[in-house]
Chain A
Amino acid sequence: MKHLIKYFAITSLIVVSSCRKLDIGPTDAYSTLNFWTADANVYNALNNNYSLMYNSGLYFGNEGLSDNAYSQNNNDLIQIASGNANSLTPKFAGDWAYYYSTIKSCNQFLTNVDQNTTLGATTLNRLKAEVRFIRAFEHFNLTKWYGDVPLVTNDITQEEAKTISKTPKAQVVDFVISELKAIISALPSKDQLPAGENGRITKGAALALQARVLLYQGNRMAEVVTACEDLMNNAGTNGTYSLVSNYSNLFSDPTVNRTNTETILSLQYVPATTRTWTDFWDFAPNSVGGRVNALAPTQELVDDYIMLNGRSITEAGSGYDENNPYVNRDPRLTATVVYDRYNWNNGGGVNGTSKIIYIKPGTDPTRPGPDEYSSGRQSSSPTGYYWRKYFDPSALANFTSGNNLHLFRYAEILLDYAEAKNSLGQMTATVWNQTIGALRARAGFTDQGALSYPGGDVTNIIRRERRAELALEGIRIDDIRRWRIAETVLNRYVHGAKFSGDPTTDNGYIRVQLRRFNPNRDYLWAIPSGDQSLNAQLTQNPGY
């Protein structure tokens, strides 16, 4: 018996020793010990933060929340735009989590990057400044939508996440502004940026975000002016910016879109790679390759484009013809919106063909007309309008585009400046010519009625200009909310073109969606109920 046990013991030993050890690690990943010491890894971590800064879904989704557009299949947008959102609305939770996950990634970077000893202090400071910009941008977006929010400036633990409380909005804004001021010296100017770094965060971006943040507060217009003037007049330090000559090319021409004098910061994409976006697949008319319609321009947007003579369509002497509504209009209308009998030029790209887009029911020689308005079908627009702005003729199949999406461009600075000056009572012909006049000239207006300073109260003119210039860039909803006009413009039907066939209702314009806006509640989004239930400090916003 004894030798049997020995036999067994020996065999067992052989078995156990012949097997692999229990310490098995991943073969394709770095550990906390060695990651940051490699320079390439630091840049990869930086790029990761850039990729988390914003995305095309948020960018275009903003438009569907505003009166510029209507989405027939995005339930979040439908729910929020129609005033039916609540603390369970998925987008409230999703956006919140998105911004905070970017903040975590930034904080991880800022906590650990000093482990790198080879990049040098100057470079590390610049990289940290870029990451601090992104972190500030996320906090700004959070406070913009949710009001008071937790200010997270370090890599918090799970326990801290359960107890952290909200910081008043004013303090969050102060943090954002102070960060932007603090980092500016570590950032290069646009002019200092080598071509290969085109797309990185610059001094100009820090100033542009400052201008936007301050403008949105409504009561800091003098500081807006300062920030804008710093950009407009201090090219030597902050980089040289100007309007590009062709409005449409800024969004559609792949070369101009990428390299131009106007962009201050864009979400960067790369053609024919995985860093592309395909949202336009659901923006374009069906007959030129569109899939379904996920975002349709409204009649309200179309109506806000002025006539070539500078008058609004409702103004006496505008020359507006309701039966031929798209002639003699702001050229940016054609650069932005596809309307009935639009002459679609595919620019030689693989998506679709150059053709006339027939939208009015029953007019398309091809039967059934794929782009015609027809109530309740997903493939065609529920408003009778499609988008043209951001169409990329060089896009691959399914509108897979590598064109950049502009987050900040010089035109916005000019509009910020005009609005701030005007609200400070400092609007003059000079300021006008520098801003609205310049934008209209660039857009293609030649009539002095549109170009020269009209005098008087130009508040609404500036606002309409902002809407026309920045349509489909996600700014309109912010403007509505900061101007506190949502209870008017988001509290009624949005409409489509005059194709409803029922002249007794809204004069024949399609009623697309009834919207409701509760000013006591809807100016702030709900703190997501999930987080609220897990952290007692997160008090809910009023009305939810």
Chain B
Amino acid sequence: MRSRLLQKLSPLKLRGRPSGVGLFFLLSCCGAANSHAENLIFNRTVSVTNIFDAVITGQVKDEQGQPLPGVTVKLQNSQVATMTDVNGNFKISVPDGDNNRSLTFTYIGFVTQTLIVGQQAQINVILKADTTKALNEVVVVGYGTQRRATINSAIGTVGARDINEKPVLNAVQALQGESPNLIIQQSTLDPGATLLINIRGVSTTGNNDPLLVIDGIVSQSTADLSLLNPNDIASVTVLKDAGAAAIYGSRGANGVLLVTTKSGKLNQKPTVTYNGNYGWQKPNVLVKKVDAADNAYYKNESLVNAGLPPSFTPAQIQQLAAQGNGTWDVNHLLYDAPQLSQNVSVSGGGATNTYFVSAGYLNQLSNFLGNGGSGNKFGFQKYNLRLNQSTIIGRFKLNGILEYTKSRNKTNSVGNNNIFADANRVPYNYSWQDENGNYLTNPIASQYNELGVLEKGGFNQADNDRIFGNLNGTLNIAKSLTLTGVFGGTIQNNGNFFRRTQVNYLPAGVYGNDLTTFDNNSKSHSFNTQVYLNYTKSFQQHNVNATLGVSSEINSQRGFQLQKTLTDPVFGNATTGTLIDATNSYNSITIQANSLQSVFGRISYDYKSRYFLDFVFRDDASSKFAQGQRSGFFPSVNAGYLISDESFMDPLRNTLSRLKLRASYGVVGNNQTAGNYTYLTTYFNYPGAYGYNGVIQGGAGTNLSNPLLTWERAATLNAGFDFGLFQNKLTGSFDYFDKTTSNIQQTPLDVPSIFGAAPPTANVAKVQNRGWEAEVTYTLKSAKVTQSFSANIGNTQNKLLQLTGNTQQIIYNQDVYQLIRRVGEPLTQYYGYVTDGYFQNQADVNSLPKPAGAIVGPGDIKFKDLNGDGKIDDNDKKVIGNPFPHYTFGFTYRVAVAGFDLTLFIQGVGQRDAFLRGELVEPFHYNYGQTLYDHMTNYWTPNNPDARYPRLASNGSPSNTNNWRNGSDLYRYNAAYARLKNVNIGYTLPSALTRKAGMQRVRVSAIGQNLFTLSKLKFIDPETTEFGNSVSPNTGSNSARNYLLPIFIGAGLDITF
């Protein structure tokens, strides 16, 4: 029956199909033949009943009463459909005579409504915004906005709620785990430290910083994001692929972070909100020294195993045991430091103006004791003030943003690394102070006492002031045409004040007797002017949005420093004998400046809000390159197909509410690696090169240049889909990308050092980076309980395609192990020997291969003879680890029940190798360390043949050399982790109660951060890395001396008036 109908009606079907979409017709024909059959049956009705038409008219509005243009109005069970016009009006001819006829109103981002029309000739409809809101969300996409539903490229968004409910002190931390493949890492957890950001991993051997744009103005550094008040942020958009980032052209290759701050709303009563939280950061020391007596015992064992006489007699060990432990450890340098954050904001608006005013304060004290001898305790403070204001004057809308940020970070004068090293390397029988409070040194830490340094040894205080302004106006030239002008910029002033003061120790040793004082200041400003036209038009079912603009940016920075030594011990000012350090003092003669002139544009087109096509481009000219190399053109093409909107998908509608396929391809650039004047050979004079007859002489040096230097280019393909299931209760998206960055700016690696100088940066390398990301959100609502689960995960895998010319690999010695960059493999990897357990007996020792000259015994490490030639040498080394995080994920669970709400946030890394060395890994490390830790006692003995570590053997012995100086996977640790980053439990007081007190809403909350971590790496925090976001192989190795991860426990209060 059905097949006969098919044959009969197929000409009709073809005639009925809209013209101009042949391509999509073809697409829709493939793979959906069954649903076609269903459609054809319905078609029959249309053709038969055409002559009986009746006309229904009406208007569609949203809940705010705004007319909705472009809403699809369709007669149910038919192909009869139309769309609302600009004023939301529609007119549809329907077959007359069916009392049960219904109209379906569909609009992206709104809940689809079906109404029984009966015989009404007119019907007005109010569409409700989709509860999942995501589709209707207006997303800032660079020089404009787009509705979520119309986006074809890989864009992630993070909303205000995701940021605000964490008691974190900067916005970058708040972004961690919120968007897949937005990878945030830390190199130190020190208060005020900047964080490492990668969007979609590492794609270049050069600079991998994403571009940061705040309220439309390009920032000079991603560190600016840390200075923003997290509570001021309305949204963060993450442009991940070329399709989205091409509008930022020469700087889009590493992705773009677009931050938009909050503003008031028209006709809104003034709303005053306060939120604050207070709590304690508990330092979580994960290592524990063995007791002093045990340490002496182990020391003896390591000496005896090396054939040397023991250091401690049994009597001495007994004496150490009787004495007990001292205080010389990390714990005695730390305390539970308080942390306070407070914010007030007022927002509102009248008929023609809106405003948002806010002030924020935070104070995060360092866990280190002391204040360096004077002033405040160590720690980080930040003050934020913001005014966002807009006025509508007829067809003109004027918007002004003014922000002031001050931050102050006071740290110790010696560096955390030294503090932790000294605290770690001294056995437990020593103490920081004697009973009279004198600071002590000992035969191991003979130079400094770090408690003395913290309490008396001076400090480094960084003061940053930043003013951000943005004045922009939009003129509605015509109904569908606007002209926007933007002028904005940042003026920043960064200063450092450093003093080292003298601390004397007992019995010997002195710190800070050079009495250095320096003061420096750096002033920078960047200005950005933009003008762009925006044209929006719908012709029947064709929607067009076009943007064309120009932009000019200028940035410059200058700074000075005055450094003196042997200053007055009390005041730090000049006194008899004070010296001015000529090399480290400078005027602000040096100006670092660059400029960028650009033209950019975007044309977005969609048909029926079902078929989407965008073209985006930017042409940049940068002062960083020589004439002829300056300009770059960066285009991208994006396409999308809302396949679920096709009628052949109707049968699936109850399950698959929405499915959109997306693809983009484009080329974006990166000019961030090159310095400002790398293309120019210059000579510079400098002081203090040499001396004659005791008189200092200046010198001159050369900077070699490469006038051919130009952009890096990243060609990126992105393909993905968005989906919604079960009336969009479950929504999600998936993206795959393939990106190849060529012309990478890097120091050429094929120039031997006989050349005599570092060869200048050139466009030499090529890297491929592929990956995927997925996110899913599930919302469950009942009358009393609202729950949502959202999870995201992403992974990237890069591959070095070219290093420089024909160079196949380069190996970097990083202390005891090595890093390798090798063509055809991931960018930076650990390299060395593979361990194969231990020599268990003399027979093993006699028979198995060893490194040349190695003298080993039972309990020493066996290395795998990978090439089977009977000896262990460089040919047996292989890649033994990858330091970049893989499978990064985030998971958020929210639940609200009767006034109570709970948010749990888990973040983690699925796969990462961390190589650790130093006194927390190697017993009696180089004799620099004289300690052993609990976790290191799992070493080889005849009774512990499968130990984690080899037998003890003192530094310099053949065993020690074999075990610890041959870089191997001995140093490798599994740094994958999952961490309960944030727990927020709140209770909102009944409004009946709060109203009486004149308040709209009062919420109290308990906050916990970093409460629980699941990781195989137990003795240091698995989250910190020694690498920057470009995994540079020149980074120093990880000696596990990072600032500790604090556990925060506190309480919060939110009040809205």
Contacts and interface: CB of A to CB of B under 8 A. Distances in A.
A462 interface: no
A506 B751 CA distance: 50
A273 B696 contact: yes
Contacts of A501: 309
Interface in B278-304: 299, 303
Interface stretch (B4-12, B229-237, B442-450): B442-450
Interface in B600-621: 621
Interface string B796-812: 00000000000100000
Contacts of A502: 309
Contacts of B550: 12, 15-16
Contact of A531 (B309, B443, B583, B753): B753
A530 B956 contact: no
A73 interface: yes
A102 B753 CA distance: 11
Among B591, B753, B874, B955, the one with the most A-chain Cβ atoms within 10 Å of its Cβ is B753
A199 B685 CA distance: 21
Interface string B682-726: 111101111111111111111100000000000000000000000
Contacts of A16: 550, 552, 597
B700 A534 contact: no
Contacts of A152: 754, 756
B681 interface: yes
Contacts of A538: 752
Given A45-B700, A100-B756, A158-B755, A19 B597 contact: yes
A44 B685 contact: yes
B901 to A, nearest CB: 48
A377 interface: yes
Given A108-B702, A375-B308, A513-B956, A22 B621 contact: yes
B595 A28 contact: no
Given A27-B589, A199-B691, A22 B756 contact: no
Interface in A38-75: 40-41, 43-45, 47-48, 50-51, 72-73
Interface stretch (B146-154, B770-778, B923-931, B990-998): B923-931
Contacts of A150: 754
Contact of B684 (A7, A30, A271, A396): A30
B926 A20 contact: no
B759 A158 contact: yes
Contacts of B754: 96, 100, 150, 152, 156, 161, 164, 531, 535
B523 to A, nearest CB: 14
B507 interface: yes
Interface string A125-166: 000000000000000000000000010100011100110100
Interface stretch (A202-210, A286-294, A311-319, A473-481): A286-294
B756 A101 contact: yes
A110 to B, nearest CB: 13
Given A26-B677, A161-B755, A370 B693 contact: no
A24 B589 contact: no
Contacts of B874: 88
A91 to B, nearest CB: 12
A188 interface: no
A72 B510 CA distance: 23
Interface string A510-544: 00010010000000000010110011001000000
A370 B446 contact: yes
A31 B680 contact: yes
A196 B695 contact: yes
B683 A31 contact: yes
Contact of B566 (A44, A366, A396): A396
Given A19-B597, A44-B698, A47-B697, A105 B756 contact: yes
B657 interface: no
Contacts of A182: none
Given A15-B531, A104-B756, A396-B514, A162 B691 contact: no
Among B566, B688, B752, the one with the most A-chain Cβ atoms within 10 Å of its Cβ is B752
A15 B757 contact: no
B752 A286 contact: no
A197 B694 CA distance: 10
A12 B680 CA distance: 31
Contacts of B591: 26-28
A287 B509 CA distance: 8
Among B687, B688, B756, the one with the most A-chain Cβ atoms within 10 Å of its Cβ is B756
A198 B444 contact: no
Looking at chain A, what size class is its interface with the partner chain?
A: 35 or more
Given A30-B683, A158-B755, A380 B954 contact: no
Given A4-B478, A376-B954, A28 B589 contact: yes
Contacts of B677: 24-26, 29
B699 to A, nearest CB: 4
B630 interface: yes
Contacts of B443: 368, 370, 374, 377, 379-380
B217 to A, nearest CB: 14
A32 interface: yes
Given A26-B677, A30-B684, A103-B756, A398 B481 contact: no
A500 interface: yes
Among A18, A51, A93, A368, the one with the most B-chain Cβ atoms within 10 Å of its Cβ is A51
B226 interface: no
A397 B593 contact: no
A344 interface: no
A11 interface: yes
Contacts of A342: none
A145 B694 CA distance: 32
Interface in B1003-1028: none
A29 B682 contact: yes
Contact of A22 (B529, B579, B623): B623
A200 B308 CA distance: 51
A108 B853 CA distance: 44
A44 B699 CA distance: 4
A343 interface: no
A347 interface: no
Nearest to A374: B443
Contacts of B530: 15
Given A27-B591, A162-B750, A273 B623 contact: no
Contact of A48 (B309, B590, B700, B750): B700
Given A197-B693, A268-B691, A376-B303, A156 B756 contact: yes
A270 B700 CA distance: 18
A286 B445 CA distance: 11
Contact of B689 (A22, A47, A271): A47
A84 interface: yes
A104 B554 CA distance: 37
A31 B707 CA distance: 13
B692 A200 contact: yes
B755 to A, nearest CB: 4
B690 A287 contact: no
Interface string B528-570: 0111010000000000000010111110000000000110000
A375 B513 CA distance: 29
Contacts of B513: 350, 397-398
26 contacts: A11-B485, A12-B550, A18-B552, A21-B595, A23-B627, A24-B593, A25-B677, A26-B682, A27-B590, A30-B685, A45-B683, A48-B690, A51-B689, A84-B853, A88-B813, A100-B755, A150-B754, A152-B754, A195-B693, A198-B692, A286-B508, A370-B507, A375-B311, A378-B926, A513-B956, A531-B752
- A-B interface, 6 closest residue pairs, ranked by CB to CB distance from nearest: A104-B756, A379-B446, A44-B700, A270-B691, A19-B552, A29-B682
Interface of A: 4, 7-8, 11-12, 15-16, 18-32, 35, 40-41, 43-45, 47-48, 50-51, 72-73, 78, 84, 88, 90, 93, 96-97, 100-105, 107-108, 150, 152, 156-158, 161-162, 164, 195-200, 258-259, 268-275, 286-287, 289, 291-292, 350, 366, 368, 370, 374-380, 396-398, 400, 402, 500-502, 513, 516, 528, 530-531, 534-535, 538
